[in-house]
């Protein structure tokens, strides 16, 4: 099971990243747990410097942008 975490304070870009990450995982048909972390004091633990961020299985994959759904899919396989 993939553990996916979207890091962000709740801005529209963060919400969009959350939505398309879930959509990508669903389209791939993988088992996943998706959560949103809004506590900015915990962002540094992942090395995040700019929101939004995407963490896949404990590794920061994206920061400061919203990638395409195809880019997210490639991060999940």
Q: What percent of the chain has pLDDT over 70?
A: 100
> Any catalytic annotation for residue 14?
yes
Q: pLDDT (tens digit, 9 = 90+) per residue, 15-56?
A: 999 999 999 999 999 999 999 999 999 999 999 999 999 999
Residues comprising the chain, all counted: 77
Give the predicted TM-score (pTM) of the model: 0.95
Letter string b/e over residues 31-41, b meaning 16 or more CB atoms within 10 A of that residue's CB: ebeeebbeeee
Written as six digits, the tokens of 65 are: 């942008």
6 closest CA partner among 70, 26, 72 = 72
Asked about 11 being catalytic, the answer comes back as yes
> Is 25:74 a contact under the CB 8 Å cutoff?
no
From the candidates 3, 11, 26, 35, which is the catalytic residue? 11
What are the b/e assignments for 7-20, b being 16+ CB within 10 Å?
bbeeeeebeebbeb
What pLDDT was estimated at residue 16? Answer: 97
Q: Which of 4, 14, 25, 37 is catalytic?
A: 14
């Amino acid at each position: 099971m993939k553990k996916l975490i979207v890091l962000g304070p709740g801005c529209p870009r963060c919400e969009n990243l959350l939505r398309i990450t879930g959509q990508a995982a669903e389209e791939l048909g993988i088992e996943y747990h998706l959560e949103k972390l809004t506590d900015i004091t915990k962002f540094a633990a992942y090395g995040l410097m700019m929101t939004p961020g995407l963490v896949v299985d404990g590794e920061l994959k994206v920061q400061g942008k919203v990638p395409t759904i195809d880019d997210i899919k490639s991060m999940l396989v």
